[in-house]
Amino acid sequence: MELLNIAVRNIRRNERRSRLTIITIVIGVAILMNMQGIYRGLTTTIYGHMMAMDTAQVQIENATYRVDARRLPLDKTIDNPAALASMIRNLPGVKAVSERIDASFEITNGKEGVRVQARGVSHDEARVTDLGKSIVEGRLFAPGEPGLVIGKGMATKLGLKIGDAAWFTALDRHSVRNLESAPIVGIFEFGFPLLDDYMIYLDIDQARQFLDLGKVATRLVVRGVDPIASASLTKEIAAAVAKNGSATQENGKILTVYEWKTFAENLVSTIETRLQLLLSILVVLFSLIIAGIFNTMAMNVQERWREIGTLRAIGIRRAGLERIFLLEGSIMGIMGCIIAAVPATAVGLWLGVWGIDISGIMPRDIPIPFGSVLHASYSVIDALRAIIAGVGAALLGSWFPARRAARLPIAEAIAAVR
């Protein structure tokens, strides 16, 4: 207690220096708390948008489909997808299942044409992805209705609006080119140009009829109850498909179950590279802050060498002297963390609840689905990690120079010889 009282008196006596040290700790801890949340928020926001827009959490394909996935083959399909979807819906972690047919179309307004990816979807698509929520004009087609839902970018480029007839052409299952028209019933906007400019949706039965496919699907897409449990859900569905899925297939077809990251591997690789760069910047930034704390604490000790010599002269041992400075560092570190919690919490709530509107600052053609608002994602571990780093930096910043000063000859310390 006596050493603690000395430490507290020293902090109060050197008020200006103590404030500078505490302010440095506050800045470092607050930045570390919030940067961790932003770092995690980038991941969850981007990956969440990708699943909500396109991939969902799990997809099921014919095992041979991936080999020719770039050409969107129509001869490598899933037989009797309705029965398979019904079986998967009964699994405990599954929220919804949608059947899909992906094909290469060309859509035209009669004057100008665009090569697009067409996606025939079942009525469950609105529960699997956010297609229904992303329609900004018109509506989603009803089951069996001959209508198209196109992206806002495509609508702008081709000058199409709700009610206009659009012509589309494609090769069917027998490599016969078919031509048909359908009205535009809806316009969607995900805020992701790769979809807004180059994707169209139509009812899956209309796609099957146009492409002469019968009742097959090119894939099943699954959304789970827990949005972050895609890996475990994939394993659960894979086990069920391996056990019961073959009963729905003809000619010995084998089905494969993939986690969503398989279908966005280029995006995931790009994001991980960017996040590694952000993490490196965060590490460098916090290292500079830690160095500032070290420097402040070292100056705190060096400016008091006469005092250190006097304390040694009146009988305080080296270990006791080191403990005084460690107590000072601990007190200022804890005070800095407590004070830092106020602005860090305020900023964290703002970033977590309201987020940052990035719609006006992100280039439209960037191949990463940031969406319009970036939300941070925080956890208790982030705060604990920042607190440990702040207090630890204060302790180490006190201990190294204090240990050096405590080993100086008493006469040199009193004379303030450097």
Contact 336, 386 (CB under 8 A): no
Q: Is the pLDDT of residue 408 over 80?
A: no
pLDDT band at 396; cut points 50, 70, 90? confident
Q: How confident is the model at residue 283 (pLDDT cuts 50, 70, 90)?
A: confident
- Each residue's pLDDT tens digit, 284-333: 877 777 777 677 767 766 677 677 777 777 777 777 777 877 887 888 88
Which pLDDT score is estimated for 367?
Answer: 57
Does residue 250 surpass a pLDDT of 90?
Answer: no
Instruction: Round to whole Å and give the CA distance between 59 and 261.
Output: 10
| Identity of the residue numbered 95 | K
Query: 28 or 152, which is more confident?
Result: 152
Taking residues 52-74, report their average pLDDT: 89
How much of the chain, in percent, has pLDDT values that exceed 70? 87
Are 201 and 128 in contact by the 8 Å Cβ rule? The answer is no
Query: Average pLDDT in the 118-143 region?
Result: 93
What is the structure's pLDDT at 219?
93
Q: pLDDT band for 118, please (50, 70, 90 cuts).
A: very high
Give the pLDDT band (50/70/90) at residue 354. Answer: confident
Residue range 145-202, pLDDT digits in tens: 899 999 999 999 999 999 999 999 999 988 899 999 999 999 999 888 888 999 999 9
Alpha-carbon gap, residue 376 to 349, rounded angstroms:
9
If pLDDT is split at 50, 70 and 90, which confidence band does 95 have? very high
Average pLDDT over all residues of the chain:
83
Q: If you average pLDDT over residues 334-353, what whole number do you get?
A: 84
Q: Comparing 123-127, 211-215, 265-269, 343-347, which segment has the lowest mean pLDDT?
A: 265-269
Which residue did the predictor score with more confidence, 397 or 199? 199
**Which residues on neighbouring strands pair with residue 248, listed in sequence order?**
none
- pLDDT exceeds 80 at position 12: no
